[in-house]
Structure formats: C-alpha cells, structure tokens
Amino acid sequence: METRAHFIIVGVFIISAFVFGFGFILWGAGNSSDSNDLPYDIMFLRSVNGLSISNPVLLNGVRVGKVTAIMLNKDKPEEIRVRILVTRGTPIRDDSKAKLIPIGITGQSAVFISGGTATSPLLKPLYKGNIPLIKTVPSPINELISALPEMLTTGKKLLEDLRKVVDPENRKNVKDFLANIASFSNLLVKSEADIQTALDNIKNAAAQTQHAMSETEKTALSVHDYVSTQLTPATNKIGILVKRIDLLVKNMEPGLTRFSKSGLDDLTSLVNESRTLVDTLENIAQKLNSNPKQFLLGKTVPEYQTP
C-alpha cells in the first residue's frame, strides 16, 4: 500500500513539473515576442467598422503586427484610438499613413500602413515615454459608409424617375417613336433610287460649279492681264494728255482774257453780218430755184404780134 502511494506521489510530481515547465516556456516565448514589438497609436475619425483586436497590421501589404486595443475618446466620440504592436525594426516613417482596408468576405478590416518616402525620418514619439502617433488618410470603407445614405437617396430618386419613364404613356410614346422610325426607314428604302438620283444631280451640280469657278478664275486672270498690259498704259497716257491740256489752258488763259474784253464785241458784229449774208444768199437761192431765167436776164418784153 505504501509502495503504491509512493508511485502516485512521484507521478503527480513529474506531471506537475512537466506542466510547469511547459507553461514557463510559453510565458518566456510570449514575453520574448512582446519585447520585440513596438507600440504605435493610430487616431481614426468616425467609424472603424470591421476592426477587431488581433486583426493584422500590414505595411505595404506585408504583415508586420497586430491590433492590441481599440479605445473611444470620451470627450470626442468621433475619435477612435487604435493601438498596434509592430515588429521591431519595421520602417514606419514620419510621412507614413494608415487606413482601414477590407480583408476577405467576412467584413473584417485590417490596418494598412504606407511605407512613406525613403528620405523621411523614422517616426518617433513627440515626448519621451509617449507612444508614436501614425497619421491617417480617409479609409475607402469609411468613405463608402459615409456616402451610403446619399447613394441610397440617389438610387431611390433614380428608381422613381425610372418608374416615370416607363409609365404607360411614355411606353406608348416610345412605341410610336419606334414605329415612326420604322416608317421612315421603309420610306428611305423605297426612295433609294430617287435619293441616288438627287445625289448624282448634286454631284453634277458641284462639278459644274467647279468648272464655272475655274472659268471665272481664268476670266479674272484675263482681266488682270488686260488691265496690266493695256488699260494701265492707256490710263498713263490719259494722265499725260490731261497734264498737257491743263498746260495749254494755262497758256491760253491770257489770250482768252483779252478776247473776252475786246474781241467779243467784234465777234458779235461778225456773227450778225454773217446772219444777214446768209439770209441774202437764201433769198438768191430761192429766186434762182423758182425762175433762174428771170433772175439771170431780168424781166422780158413780150413780142408784138400784128392782128
């Protein structure tokens, strides 16, 4: 009996030692893992829908940590502080930005951090002992949730407008419009020959117009040649003649002045005497025409005849 009790005590001690050692190994591994991680805070605005503790943290798509806490700001409920643990040595820079992205089809979200630029310094806390704060950019999920009410309103209005479009009256109008188009198409098919003839006439008219324009252009060139070769020299000669006439008038001006003073009276007397002479000559011509013999021989004595 004592031997059996001894074995039971030894067995319990061995099992306890084994459990204690295994727990110590797990605790050491956990502490070692946590000691290699660095905490960062992210301040999100509005919603962090789908984000839970232990959800992954990605840097340019590579998993580098996990979410450890999600806290609400009591003074500003729209602000949500998310604390993450990131593997030590992860290059989170001052211009890195964080946002939420969906993972899978379960509705869960992950924290996605952009790598920033290579020239930007690594992100450090503002004060010693504080946790560095990563800047955020609007999340596609949050933008979608924010825009969802407006999208629903717009969709509802669109459906209402669509109902108005497909009401019986509009359907009848569309049907009539399609029927008119079909009638017009049939008319075009029937009038194909006439349309072709009209097109040919237009083509011929265009050709004739082009020919007429060519002839007009030739005529214009001929007129230009005539003006440049004949009319321009004639105009120059007329100009020279006008200058000569002007010079002649200037030279005759003194004589005309003297003539208007003294010779005009003599000319008037000459004209009057010429009129008298013309009248006398006209009388002589009339008498000569009526009886030339009498005009030339004078009056004749009649011969005496004996009884």
Which residue in 35, 87, 33 sits closest to 59, CA to CA?
Answer: 87
Q: pLDDT digit string (tens) for 3-46?
A: 555 556 656 667 776 666 666 565 554 544 455 789 999 998 87
CB 110 within 8 A of CB 58: yes
Local confidence pLDDT in tens for the 307 residues of the chain: 555 555 566 566 677 766 666 665 655 545 444 557 899 999 988 778 888 999 999 998 899 999 999 998 888 888 899 999 999 988 999 999 999 888 877 878 899 998 888 899 998 887 777 899 999 887 766 666 667 778 888 888 888 777 776 677 777 777 788 888 888 777 777 777 777 888 888 888 888 888 888 888 887 777 677 667 766 776 777 778 778 777 777 777 676 666 566 666 666 776 677 777 777 777 776 665 666 555 555 555 454 444 4
- Name 134's bridge partners: 42
Report pLDDT for 304.
43
Q: Residue written as tokens 């060139």?
A: 221
Neighbours of 145 (CB within 10 A): 13
Tokens of 239: 């100009």
pTM > 0.75: yes or no: no
Measured in whole angstroms, the distance separating CA 306 from the mean position of its chain's CA atoms is 136
Write the DSSP string, 66-94: EEEEEEE-SS-TTEEEEEEEEETT---BT
